[in-house]
Copies of this chain bind each other. A is one copy, B any other.
Amino acid sequence: MTQQDDQRFPAVEIEDADLVYTLTDEAPMLATHSLLPIVEGFTRAADVSVARADISLAGRIMAAFGHASDDLARLGTLTQSESATIIKLPNISASVPQLKKAIAELQAEGIEVPDYPESPSTDAEREVRAAYDAVKGSAVNPVLREGNSDRRAPIAVKAYARSHPHSMGEWSPQSRTRVAMMSSGDFRHNEASTIVPHDGTVQIRLRPADGSDTVVLRETLPVTAGEVLDATYMSVRELDAFLTEQVAAASAEEVLLSVHLKATMMKVSDPLIFGRAVRAVLPATFSSFGEVLEEADLRPEDGLASILAGLDGLADGERIRASIASELSQGPGIAMVDSDNGITNLHVPSDVIIDASMPAMIRSGGKMWDAQGQMADTLAVIPDSSYAGVYEAVVEDCKANGALDPATMGSVPNVGLMARKAEEYGSHDKTFLVPAAGTVEIVVLDGTGLPAGTVLLSHEVEAGDIWRACQTQDAPVRDWVRLAVTRARASGAPAVFWLDPTRGHDRVLTSLVGAYLTQEDIEDLDIRILDPVAATRLSLERARQGQDTISVTGNVLRDYNTDLFPILELGTSAKMLSVVPLMNGGGLYETGAGGSAPKHVRQLLHDNYLRWDSLGEFLALAEALRHVALVTGKTRAAVMADALDAATTTLLKENRSPGRRLGTIDNRGSHAWLAQYWAAELAAQEADADLAARFAPVATLFQTVGETIQAELAAVQRQTVEIGGYYHPNDELTEAVMRPSATLNAIIDML
């Protein structure tokens, strides 16, 4: 569905459009085939031009080899424009297997893209490999996220959540659930931070204590003027002692033991910490068989499941299995991910995702599943204390005051530091397992304003410690402060910077916040700086009184808080508005947290039913239209936006979202309802008489044929369909599948 394929509208170039809508992959891409024609029809009436940008995996591959326009690069350029407005749907962060499948699919279609070179040996192969490396993984977000994050519950969603509160588990003051964190030796306590004076290059190296040759951990790392550079480490000795203590405590307190990390994001550090937890619950096993397991490459950081699966081939396999079973039965109960199948919290590292698991536990009255499939209190082990206090504060608040009430509670929107990879602690290229005792240093190579050889940061470490560096550029920090002020002014809510004076990094940020706040007019605003625990307490206290409090946080708390509070408030984080106000003035509107839902695609092909909920797109579109009005002066776009929000509110109230089971409304049905409500709102509004007159007949038409449209859409369910590809489906086939209502299509075409 490129612009060239679509004959109904003159193609609008990305650079010329008022609004760019991204074509991505899987379910969001399918939904776009239904929704975007409606959007294009409606917005035409407001003289808002819409361009399509293909940033799908297939599109990126084709662009890499000259078979399509490089829309992602064009969007990247566009993010620097003052008037960019971009709606970004979820896309595939391609793994190598996904990449290979997409290549095969394109090749089968006759598009000449080369094979993926596993082990490139020639220059040509290396060039191909480099091109594919640029396509795979998180290739999209770094290009587009030229701004920080503004996430909040849209008014429509919040109103719906209050009138239809989701279920919340009871909290008892007698709950034995608690959070445990390290009191020294962790990333928080060892953190040291500095500001880089000028652009330059540094090196990360280890000077071994035994006097052997310096180990270069990272040859060169570019740094920029004014950037906050920090380093810290997790002491494996203190971590082990802490974990052993927690295993004993969980036994003594007769609660489940659960570990909460983010191995999927902190890709180097958190699997290692996870591995130490596995060791801590199986001390005898690792004492007796640690070397055997290591030789067999059965590593605790891959999880218990991986170890158990690998035992079959080992001579000692059964003895080890017995040892593990024995230790697990004697130790504390381990919280389960899947009680039915005996999958514990320690089976698979990527199952342990703190920002999902902790809110879920809190929503469940502080309980997790035990091996018998019952819910039980748990000792929530979050080794690094940098952010653990936030969860502890929520747990303690719920113990003292009971569960939060979604019907009455206020909101905790987030302004998160994110631009230019700010505070990406998870970055694997700056995190290292320390190979030998010694001193890890960040040393100036050139530039920076400091003499070459100057040691910027230095930590004494032991073998096995986990050392990491982190960069936060200056421009994102400035923009983040400005964004916090903007949101405080726009919302009237207090804006609280969550910054911890006991952390090196946060001290530097606090100083910068002070410097940049004085460049803003904040006289009438309530702006505070609190440590994360105090900020959590304040936010909860206000939320319980129905008051909103903006959390202005760094990147990790952006990730954590935008799940934690939405899950408590709305039951899900997927309904949050996710805006990336671009640093140069543009706006990036992200939709639909939660991935691209491949199983929804399978269901469509099998049942012609698409569960995907486009609520995120509706909300993003309204915000995006307001932004268009702001930057282009096309005030009519703002009228469209208000009407769209009202339509979305009605849609939620009338329960016209996809029903999630066959026979109910699916994605396409909800789009038709949205169009109907939107037209009705536009006809009814008084802000723009011309627009009202223009949409009056449309609204009338929908009233007359609305049921027919829904019937046409319902009729196609329960059949297999074919769209001619997974990564690069055929546009006409897909459009035929996604637009099956002749009546709706006719109305849209008339707009």
A632 to chain B, nearest CB (A): 35
Counting CB contacts under 8 A, is A518 at the interface?
Answer: yes
CB pair A531–B197 under 8 Å, yes or no, is: no
CA–CA, A726 and B92, complex, Å: 89
Q: Which chain B residue has the least Cβ–Cβ distance from A526?
A: B451
A178-201 contact mask (Cβ, 8 Å, vs B): 1 or 0: 000000000000001111111000
Within 8 A of B (CB), among A511-548: 511-515, 517-518, 527-531
Of the listed stretches A249-257, A453-461, A650-658, chain B binds A453-461
CB pair B515–A197 under 8 Å, yes or no, is: yes
CB pair B197–A518 under 8 Å, yes or no, is: yes
Counting CB contacts under 8 A, is A501 at the interface?
Answer: yes
Within 8 A of B (CB), among A14-36: none
- Chain A facing B: main interface SS: mixed
- A192-B507, A515-B449 known; A502 vs B459 contact (CB < 8 Å): yes
CB pair A531–B451 under 8 Å, yes or no, is: no
A502 to chain B, nearest CB (A): 5
Contacts of A455 in B (CB 8 A): 501, 529-531
**Neighbour of A451 across the interface among B194, B458, B511, B529, CB < 8 A:** B529
A273 to chain B, nearest CB (A): 23
CA–CA, A86 and B449, complex, Å: 34
Contacts of A502 in B (CB 8 A): 192, 458-460
CA–CA, A198 and B519, complex, Å: 11
CB pair B514–A196 under 8 Å, yes or no, is: yes
CB pair B456–A507 under 8 Å, yes or no, is: yes
Counting CB contacts under 8 A, is A450 at the interface?
Answer: yes
Q: Which chain B residue has the least Cβ–Cβ distance from A511?
A: B195
Q: Which chain B residue has the least Cβ–Cβ distance from A500?
A: B458
CB pair A514–B198 under 8 Å, yes or no, is: yes
Counting CB contacts under 8 A, is A504 at the interface?
Answer: yes
CA–CA, A510 and B512, complex, Å: 17
Within 8 A of B (CB), among A462-504: 501-502, 504
Contacts of A649 in B (CB 8 A): none
Counting CB contacts under 8 A, is A246 at the interface?
Answer: no
A157-196 contact mask (Cβ, 8 Å, vs B): 1 or 0: 0000000000000000000000000000000000011111
What are 26 A-B contacts defined by CB distance under 8 Å? Answer: A192-B501, A192-B504, A193-B507, A194-B507, A194-B508, A194-B511, A195-B511, A197-B512, A197-B514, A197-B518, A198-B514, A448-B514, A449-B517, A449-B518, A450-B514, A450-B517, A451-B529, A454-B510, A454-B514, A454-B528, A454-B529, A455-B530, A455-B531, A456-B507, A457-B501, A460-B502
The 10 closest A-B pairs by CB, nearest first: A197-B514, A449-B514, A450-B514, A454-B529, A197-B515, A458-B501, A449-B518, A455-B501, A195-B511, A194-B507
